[in-house]
Amino acid sequence: MRKARRLQIVGGGRDARLRLVGDWDASPLDGLCDTARLAGAVEKVQRSLVEHARASGRSWAEIGTALGISKQSAWERFSQPPPE
């Protein structure tokens, strides 16, 4: 019997990571579709949080630090609407 595929968050804070649980090898393309949907959802949440952070007066440097990237990278990624 196959074990259902799922992603598990292990750890917390900056040390958190995802662990694959279950039978991901049987259908890797389905797994890629699952992770692409997850990445899209995370992107939407991050964009929303960046908008809230900017509206509350947070700097691009603070946002970059929170994301583990430079302020310039944060600005380049989040200052414009996402590509269609």
| Residues 2-29, mean pLDDT to the nearest whole number | 84
Look up the pTM and report it: 0.77
CA-CA-CA-CA dihedral for 78, 69, 45, 42, to nearest 10: 120
- pLDDT band per the 50, 70, 90 thresholds, residue 1: low
Helical packing angle, 71-78 and 60-67, nearest 10°: 100
Dist. CA 7–CA 21, nearest whole Å: 6
From the DSSP assignment, how many helices (H) and strands (E) are in the chain? Answer: 3, 2
